[in-house]
Amino acid sequence: MPTSVVTGGAGFLGSHLTDALLEKGHRVICLDNLITGNMANMAHLADNASHEFIRHDVSTYIEINEPVDFVFHFASPASPIDYLELPIQTLKVGALGTHNALGLAMAKRATFLLASTSEVYGDPLEHPQTEEYWGNVNPIGPRGVYDEAKRFAEAITMAYHRAQGIDTKIVRIFNTYGPRMRPKDGRVVPAFMMQALQGQPMTLFGDGDQTRSFCYVSDLIRGIVALALSDQAGPINIGNPAEMTVKQLALKIKDLTGCSSEIIREPLPVDDPKVRRPDISKARELLDWEPLEDLDKGLSNTLQYFSQLLHQAQHQAQHQAHHQAHHQAQQ
């Protein structure tokens, strides 16, 4: 039974990766300090003897007292709201966290996989983005804390690969969506869905003509596992090359929910990329991977997840109100 360590294992992607590794017969040790991770993402694993959760900030030294075969470094705030609120933690987990996770991989002679991001391409001047493109990043802008943390993480990963002979992999993840995203993480899919489900106006930043490419989480995880088990070091783009404008996405979600929310406009955030679309030729050729999930089906699954969350929150609020009323009546 191979043992995998997943940093950020209580997060959106980390928890889905954990599920996929457990299905492949791995023992999985999850490390997370829960600043953006959520124990609810792992609740279904409570009785799984092959899964262990350790609450730990990987920006500090990582100690695992058993053999380890794979280290998947997924710990990081990963949405604009998070990294704008947690700029120093984002830089620390990208620098110190990656250093510590690589140190663990070196000590255990384990394969190391870095979850990098399409954000290393910044606001790209090349479209679609190939792995050879060096990017167009503003290092001192507000988004720079995330972009540069990931660019540094790639650099230190390659340094350990070259200088220490570690088996390393780098995946560059493009926009991904699916169940277990946080409702208020500031990303476009949860934002539109929560607004639509609650009948609130849907907020479009800028003119809505900026493009994104949305990959369903199960497709993404399949690509990451394929990379981990391959002899490729990467970086390799994993994402869905089907590009659409943010405005088209808003209309699609409005249509799927059947809501009557109006679409309102806000100014575009600083350094927000105008286009984003992966060139996945390498993933197709080297990993025999491409996305399979239909957008409408993926969005429906995700909508169902957010509807359940809203339903639970409403139920909880009613329960609390009832409890308070009962408590006051007794006084």
SS3 13: helix
Residue with tokens 């947690």: 86
Residue from 146, 160, 177, 216 carrying the catalytic annotation: 146
Residue 235: both structure tokens together: 């970086």
Sorted by sequence, the CB contacts under 8 Å of residue 305 that are 6+ apart come out as 178, 179, 180, 181
Residue with tokens 């990766």: 17
Sorted by sequence, the CB contacts under 8 Å of residue 16 that are 6+ apart come out as 178, 180, 217, 218, 221
Rounded (10°) CA dihedral 201, 87, 239, 124: 90
Strand partners, 136: 122
Which sign does the torsion angle of CA 43, 46, 48, 49 carry? positive
Rounded to whole angstroms, the Cα distance separating 250 from 205 reads 11
Rounded to whole angstroms, the Cα distance separating 143 from 161 reads 27
* Integer-rounded Cα radius of gyration of the chain: 20
Residue 227's closest CA among 98, 128, 102, 115? 115
| 34 conformational bin, left if phi > 0, alpha if psi -120 to 50, beta if neither | left
Sorted by sequence, the CB contacts under 8 Å of residue 97 that are 6+ apart come out as 7, 58, 59, 73, 75, 76
Rounded to whole angstroms, the Cα distance separating 297 from 1 reads 34
Q: Is 146 a catalytic residue?
A: yes
Q: Residues with catalytic annotation?
A: 146
